[in-house]
């Protein structure tokens, strides 16, 4: 059987379906894996994305013709069965499952296997072919377990607090930021940290901490 998805100049093209996945040039129909700027671009005539990410996509692209599909729900377009499944990356991120004449291909943008509480956890999807366009997807990248990373941050915060040093965490809003803020909330509940964007007063505590989010487009 011929390839279900090919690389065209506009982006990844589902040939029998005649639609694109995260295209980088304007097209008639685009399936968007998630709302990060390197996957969701303006200028397409019609958009399809996972329902939990619809508001994020609209907030970034404005008024667009958008169909929001709940995770797992199947639709058929030009004979290709399409369904979206959690990629565990950011709110609304999806793997795109395509079924055509009994063959299944899955196309994903970024994905993350560790659940972090900010979005639906990654769902393994059985397929004949898997394509991913993931920023840190190459095998050369190796990451510490999330718990280890956040333990390191917490120790850094405690050490600074004990030494009376001010500290500041700047977070990208829709990437590490969402995860970090969620962990920060958990940490604040258990360690009485100041609220986001709030400095503790020196007469209340020697501990000073400011957490801000970075609004740069990701």
Q: Where are the beta strands (DSSP E) in the chain?
A: 5-8, 11-14, 19-21, 29-31, 46-50, 66-69, 75-77, 80-86, 94-100, 103-108, 129-132, 167-172, 209-214
CB 187, CB 150: distance < 8 Å? yes
**Stretch of residues binding Zn ion (CB under 5 A), selected from 28-36, 50-58, 119-127, 136-144:** 28-36
Tell me the closest approach of the beta carbon of residue 95 to Zn ion, in angstroms.
Answer: 13
Tell me the closest approach of the beta carbon of residue 61 to Zn ion, in angstroms.
Answer: 15
Tokens of 12: 């990844």
Residue among 110, 102, 99 at smallest CA distance from 5: 99
CB nearest Zn ion: which residue? 36
Tell me the closest approach of the beta carbon of residue 129 to Zn ion, in angstroms.
Answer: 21
Tell me the closest approach of the beta carbon of residue 121 to Zn ion, in angstroms.
Answer: 16
Rounded Cα distance, 154 and 159, in Å: 9
Give the count of residues interacting with Zn ion (CB under 5 A): 2
Of 48 and 94, CB closest to Zn ion = 94
Of 20 and 111, CB closest to Zn ion = 111
Is residue 147 packed enough to be buried (19+ CB in 10 Å), middle (13-18) or exposed (0-12)?
exposed
CB neighbours (10 Å) of residue 79?
A: 10
**Stretch of residues binding Zn ion (CB under 5 A), selected from 36-44, 57-65, 142-150, 159-167:** 36-44
Of 22 and 207, CB closest to Zn ion = 22
Of 136 and 156, CB closest to Zn ion = 136
11 to 26, 67, 74, 137, 138: CA distances (angstroms): 10, 20, 23, 18, 20
**Stretch of residues binding Zn ion (CB under 5 A), selected from 29-37, 68-76, 78-86, 141-149:** 29-37
The correct pick among 36, 44, 112, 183 for binding Zn ion (CB under 5 A) is 36
Contact status: 22 vs Zn ion (CB under 5 A): no
By three-state DSSP, how is residue 56 classified?
Answer: helix
Binding to Zn ion (CB under 5 A) within 93-112 occurs at: 110
Tell me the closest approach of the beta carbon of residue 191 to Zn ion, in angstroms.
Answer: 30
Footprint on this chain of Zn ion (rule: CB under 5 A): 36, 110
């Amino acid at each position: 059987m011929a390839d279900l998805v090919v690389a065209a100049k506009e982006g990844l093209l589902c040939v029998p379906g005649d639609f694109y996945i995260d295209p980088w040039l304007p097209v008639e129909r685009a399936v968007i894996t998630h709302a990060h700027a390197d996957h969701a671009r303006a200028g397409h005539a019609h958009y399809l994305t996972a329902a939990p990410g619809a508001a994020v996509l609209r907030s970034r692209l404005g008024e667009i013709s958008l169909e929001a599909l709940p995770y797992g729900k199947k639709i058929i377009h030009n004979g290709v069965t399409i369904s979206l499944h959690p990629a565990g990356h950011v709110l609304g991120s999806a793997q795109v499952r395509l079924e055509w004449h009994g063959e299944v291909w899955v196309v994903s943008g970024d994905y993350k296997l560790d659940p972090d509480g900010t979005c639906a956890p990654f769902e393994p999807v059985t397929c004949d072919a898997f394509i991913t366009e993931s920023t840190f997807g190459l095998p050369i990248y190796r990451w510490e377990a999330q718990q280890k990373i956040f333990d390191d941050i917490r120790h850094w915060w405690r050490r600074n607090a004990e030494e009376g040093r001010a500290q500041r965490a700047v977070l990208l809003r829709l990437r590490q930021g969402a995860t970090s803020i969620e962990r920060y909330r958990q940490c604040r509940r258990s360690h009485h940290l100041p609220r986001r964007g709030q400095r503790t007063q020196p007469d209340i505590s020697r501990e000073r901490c400011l957490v801000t989010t970075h609004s740069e487009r990701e």
